[in-house]
Amino acid sequence: MRDSAPSIRISVLGPLRVQCGDSGATLTPKGAKNQALLALLALSPEMTRPRRWLEDKLWSQFGPEQASANLRQALSKLRAALGPHSGILLADRSAIALDTARVAVDLPLDAPPDAPRAALLEGLDARDPEFEEWLRLERAELQTRLSRARPRNSRGILINCRATAPDGGSGVLMADVLANQIGENISEQIRAWRQNGDPENAADLPPSDLSLVCSIVNTDDGHTVFVKGLHLPSGRVLHSKLQTIPRLEDILASEETIARLVFEAADCIIGRLPQVLDSDRPESRATALARLSMYRMFSFERDALREAYSLLKQAHDLDNNGIYLAWSSMVRMIQLMELLEDDREALREEAIALNYRAMEEAKDNALVYALISKVRGTAQHDAAGAFDLAETAVERNPASAFAWKSLAEAHLLKGDTAAAFTASARARAIAHNSPFRQWWDMGHCIVAIADNRPREAIEAGEAAARAAPLSRPAHRHLLALYALEGQYDKAQETATKLAKIEPGFTIDQIVNDESYPVRTLRSKGLLEPIRALL
């Protein structure tokens, strides 16, 4: 029977507080882990979670037995802190729960417009990366609720593009082209508009959020380009860089150096925008959520990909921008290809549906074309359609590393491995300074394998593994490549790493399981050398 003790109120806005519902007596447990456990339950659906899920969030760096023991100890301390009200904690061999009939949490499902702007679980540090990630997502979800309760139109981020050159003429033109290329790359990834730098009626225009200034001066070895991105209301410099180029014509041709300059500038500015924009603006919140989703997505981890999908859904709910649907489609594709979910057919169907929705909402977006090209080729087995989309993406934005990667994959589907290698190498060079460079490194590793370039494949695979140590694809391919090169010590070491990050992995599985996601290695006959490790 249930305890008849008074109900309990748990406050999660601001510091965690636990009070007796009748007397108001404080029952907040001591210890960050104990508080975190209570918070995890209070903010979970139906206030219940499996034991293993709780252990992963609070003791992710411990073995299963130790984590289970730590959870039992934390439950014991929680019950002691709650005293006569300990009956609100319900536990069995598989799950832990709070009695929803006797526990109230001060986080309403529909946050009112005047809700306090207190931080969720302020100051709570459970010293576990998985808990920190969970808390970051919960805080993002709370801000989304608050933004929805205060509806505002997404007017987009306004970018003022300016160009200067001391000699005027072609120098000013090229600087203007460069500034607009950076602005275009930004507007592909977030809702943004470019504004002419010197309009005749500047006083009548709305104030800009960003200023993109590109200056070109002549030097002894050619020309020097200076790029600067500035948040105008605060005066903060979001990005600046000097680049020497031999010819001004390189800007028009989007030569590799120019493409990298453009791609890097756009990426750095987008990454810092959430820190300077008004967080109440839908496009600002959506940008922050989408940026976080990319960090989670490119880790290639099961739970991280699920979180990435959730973040992108929140971003689209806030700002109805088709780019978030295209990224969601890519998440589903990664889950499908990496065998990370049970219902693969459902993933495929959802990826295709998201593809079509993205096209409807962002018809002229080169990045959308690049992303959905992958789905068209892999999920829909339409190599010609994938190539057309990728080719269009490159034509519209030759400075996009995403576009060149999609073209490399489209060439691969058509069987032209040499063209795929060239396009992939260009994509990788453009994205050289990206915080997500492992995406291009891993892609180049696979393309190099297909083009019979094992040394280049190893170099790219090792770069991907360094950038994303938990990347299963990188280690799978390196295992085969090391065995191919006769580096069996490295191959065995890689197999050991895989066994740690991929539950259930065996060498026999990668060699003999036809469904295991190493299609290129299998088609090239490169799995046989691994048998030496059996």
The string of DSSP codes covering 288-316 is HHHHHHHHHHTTT-HHHHHHHHHHHHHHH
434 located within any domain: no
Last residue of a domain, one of 236, 256, 274: 274
Sign of CA dihedral 241, 245, 250, 254: negative
Total domains present in the chain: 2
Burial of residue 220, with CB atoms counted within 10 A of its CB: 0-12 exposed, 13-18 middle, 19 or more buried:
exposed
Note the pLDDT of residue 387. Answer: 97
Burial of 234: CB neighbours in 10 Å, binned 0-12, 13-18, 19+? exposed
CATH number at residue 249: 3.40.50.10070
Whether residues 110 and 173 share a domain: the answer is no
Q: How far apart are CA 395 and CA 407, in angstroms?
A: 11
User: What is the full per-residue pLDDT of the chain (534 aa) written as tens digits?
Assistant: 344 444 898 988 888 999 887 777 889 999 999 999 999 999 998 899 999 999 999 999 888 899 999 999 999 999 999 988 999 999 999 999 999 989 988 865 444 444 445 578 888 888 888 998 899 888 877 776 666 555 456 678 999 999 988 877 788 999 999 999 999 999 999 999 988 755 455 556 788 999 999 999 988 888 999 999 999 999 999 999 999 999 999 999 999 999 999 999 999 999 999 889 887 788 888 999 999 999 889 887 878 888 899 899 989 988 989 999 999 999 999 988 887 787 889 999 999 999 999 999 988 899 999 999 999 998 899 999 999 999 999 999 999 999 999 999 999 999 999 999 999 999 999 999 999 999 999 999 999 999 999 999 999 999 999 988 888 899 999 999 999 999 999 999 999 999 988 878 899 999 999 888 898 999 999 999 999 888
Residues 126 and 182 in one domain: no
- Domain final position from 224, 245, 274: 274
Is 173 in the same domain as 269? yes
Strands (E) located in 297-369: none
Please indicate, yes or no, if residue 18 is contained in any of the structural domains.
yes
Closest CA relative to residue 241, chosen from 223, 264, 221: 264
pTM: 0.75
- Residue span of the structural domain in which 99 resides: 8-139
Residue identified by tokens 């459970």 is 126
Smallest Cα–Cα separation from 327: which of 303, 299, 305? 305
Dihedral angle, C-alpha 396, 402, 403, 407, nearest 10 °: 180
Q: Which helix or strand (DSSP H or E) is residue 68 part of? A: helix 64-82
Q: Look at residue 436 and tell me if it is in a domain.
A: no
Residues 164 and 52 reside in one and the same domain: no
Structural tokens at position 447? 């393309």
With respect to residue 90, please indicate whether it lies within any of the assigned structural domains: yes
Closest Cα to residue 120, out of 105, 110, 130?
105
Q: For residues 270 and 189, state if they share a domain.
A: yes
Considering the domain architecture, whether residues 218 and 121 belong to the same structural domain is answered as no
Q: What share of the chain is helix, strand, coil (3-state, %, to 5)?
A: 60, 15, 30
Please state the φ and ψ torsions of residue 10, each to the nearest 5 degrees. -110, 120
Rounded Cα distance between 237 and 72, Å, is 50
Which residues is 161 bridged to in the sheet? Answer: 196, 212
Same-domain check for residues 192 and 93: no
Any domain includes 499 = no
Q: Within this chain, do residues 215 and 267 fall inside the same structural domain, yes or no?
A: yes
Strand, coil or helix: 506:
coil
* CATH code of the domain in which 130 resides: 1.10.10.10
Same domain, 165 and 134: no
Residues 12 and 135 in one domain: yes
Backbone φ and ψ for 20, nearest 5 degrees, come out as: -70, 130
Of 214, 247, 274, the residue at which a domain comes to its end is 274
Q: Are residues 166 and 115 in the same domain?
A: no
Query: Does residue 487 form part of some domain?
Result: no
| Angle at the Cα of 444 from the Cα atoms of 337 and 420, rounded to 5 degrees | 95
Pairing, β 89-91 against β 95-98 = antiparallel
451 neighbors 418 (Cβ within 8 angstroms)? yes
In whole angstroms, how far apart are CA 398 and each of 178, 251, 262, 411? 12, 11, 10, 16
C-alpha span between 129 and 530 (Å, rounded) = 34
The answer to whether position 283 is within a domain reads no
Is 254 within the bounds of a domain? yes
Q: Check whether residue 81 and residue 120 sit in a common domain.
A: yes
